[in-house]
Amino acid sequence: MMDEGVGVVAAKKMGQRLKCAPEVEFFDGGTMGLELMPYIEGREKVLIIDAVDFGKDPGYIGVLRNEEIPSAFSSKVSLHNVGLADIIFVLKLSGTLPPEICLLGIQPKKVELGLELTEEINSKVPQLIESALDILREWNIECASLSLQK
């Protein structure tokens, strides 16, 4: 779905180009929905990177933390946003919601059939990755850059 794939692109680049502490995992959750629960529950911190409809101009990068996340989905960008809200709800009920969960989002330009990001969103991927690294540093998690230029 074109720009909907920005999280996959960012996670793949981060996994290929960063060396982080062993407890850091990069994972492409795609559209797994509730099947993502085992990858999130019981963790201390979870950072999710995705296309999010902030109602802003394409390329806008925003951060939602903890209780802010479910409220972000009153207007849905994609099918798996429903899954994320559902996951958070179920994890809260079960008492296994991570103490720190963060959604790093970018406003998509196009969410329609297609395999490539729009140029506008693709050009923002390095900034999105830097924002992710800022969040990891806030959490006292350092990652060494193997090469973010490629």
Q: Which two tokens stand for residue 29?
A: 């959750």
Per-residue pLDDT of the chain (150 residues; tens, 9 = 90+): 789 899 999 999 998 888 988 888 888 877 677 788 888 888 999 999 999 989 999 999 999 999 888 755 554 444 444 567 778 888 888 999 999 999 999 999 988 887 899 999 999 999 999 999 999 999 999 888 876 444
- The answer to the question of residue 150 being in a domain is no
pLDDT number for residue 77: 46
CATH at 23 = 3.40.50.1450
- The answer to the question of residue 76 being in a domain is yes
Report yes or no: 61 and 131 within 8 Å, Cβ to Cβ.
yes
pLDDT number for residue 79: 42
Report yes or no: 88 and 69 within 8 Å, Cβ to Cβ.
yes
The Cα 92–Cα 27 span in angstroms is 22
The Cα 8–Cα 44 span in angstroms is 22
Structural domain total, the chain: 1
pLDDT number for residue 42: 84
Return the closest-CA partner of residue 122 out of 113, 132, 110.
Answer: 110
- The answer to the question of residue 149 being in a domain is no
Other beta carbons within 10 Å of 115: 7
Report yes or no: 93 and 144 within 8 Å, Cβ to Cβ.
no
Report yes or no: 48 and 7 within 8 Å, Cβ to Cβ.
yes
Query: 139 is in which domain, residue-wise?
Result: 2-144
- The answer to the question of residue 13 being in a domain is yes
pLDDT number for residue 83: 65
- The answer to the question of residue 80 being in a domain is yes
pLDDT number for residue 147: 60
